[in-house]
Amino acid sequence: MEYDREGFVDAADGTQLFYEERGQGEPAVVLTDGIGCDGFAWRYLAPRLAQHHRVLHWHFRGHGRSGPPIDHDQLSIEDLARDLQRICEERDIVRPVIVAHSMGVQVALETYRQHPDGVGALILMCGTFGRITSTFHGTDLLDQVLPGLIRGTRMFPGVARAVWGRVPAAMAFRVACAGRELDGERIQQEDFQRYWEHAALMNPDVFLRMLQFAGDHDARGFLANIEVPTLVVAAEHDTFTPMTLAEEMADAIPDAELEVVDGASHAAPVEQPDRIAERVEDFLSSRLGLVRTPA
């Protein structure tokens, strides 16, 4: 997927944050990934949105082309929200529509909490309001084992790097489809492979620490205070963030709209991009008063 413009912005602590842009038109759309991703969710959705909007996609610290975090204690959802705001300031983006996937939903919500006047609308896909390690696959097992994984990674970093990501992408894809973690009828192996290979190249301590911080973050308490148009997109067969959590989030946010994508998994934006793009544009037209014109 080609972008027209790209560059780097320095975070408050000096970490370099990568961004890429394409398209024109207001309001701008800021695409925010889930953990371990560098654009996996947006491969097909971004060019569709760029037909009508300026679209900016950025990489979390320690992800993709962004620099490694200077301090591994600054990987919290709050830190990532400040990174998002800094990029918007540097790129002269005012009141963007934040389109977020998976853990990025927490980053979007935290961005609104920190700077409510700086957000125009929220589109929250396949994510939840927080405490994700307590709800992964509907259990708190990840919450229980994560501290031990982090200790082991820090005690034996060489071993952790050697083991991390050793499962071949093709095998992981087959297992995920067989277990209905992905919709094997709609997702291409090459799309999943891009995600898997990127995650495998990450520093495991960065990944696990960020996951731990996401498990500590909880936006539930301020959902009722959100005053911008909000669309919650849930996937029928999402095993990572069960659909009931999306329903709860939509119920808690005043006047939020809920869209359930039938048959989709956690990778819904990759599996059904046309349907989701159409729903997003309808939402923006109706709630922000935008006039849709042919591309």
Model pLDDT for residues 248-288, shown as the tens digit of each residue: 999 999 999 999 999 999 999 999 999 999 999 999 999 98
Range of the domain at 238: 5-288
For residue 212, what are its two tokens?
């731990």
Asked if residue 293 is part of any domain, the answer here is: no
The answer to whether residue 135 is domain-embedded is yes
Q: Is residue 277 part of a domain?
A: yes
CA atoms within 13 A on the CB side of 108: 35
In a domain, 295, yes or no: no
Q: Which residues are registered as beta bridge partners of 258?
A: 232
Whether the upstream peptide bond of residue 229 has omega within 30° of 0, thus cis, is no
Mean pLDDT of 216-238: 96
Greater pLDDT, 136 or 93: 93
pLDDT (tens digit per residue) in 50-85: 999 999 999 999 999 999 999 999 999 999 999 999
Q: How many domains does the chain have?
A: 1
Task: Tell me the CATH number at 98.
Answer: 3.40.50.1820
The C-alpha atoms of residue 61 and residue 88 are separated, in whole angstroms, by 15
Which pLDDT score, from 0 to 100, does residue 159 have? 46
> CA-to-CA distance for 110 and 121, rounded, in angstroms?
13
Within a domain: residue 219? yes
Two tokens, residue 19: 């961004």
Q: How confident is the model at residue 196 (pLDDT cuts 50, 70, 90)?
A: confident
Distance CA 290, CA 58 (A): 25
SS3 at position 127: coil
Q: Confidence class of residue 149 from pLDDT cuts 50, 70 and 90?
A: low
**CA dist., res. 294 & res. 276, Å (int):** 18
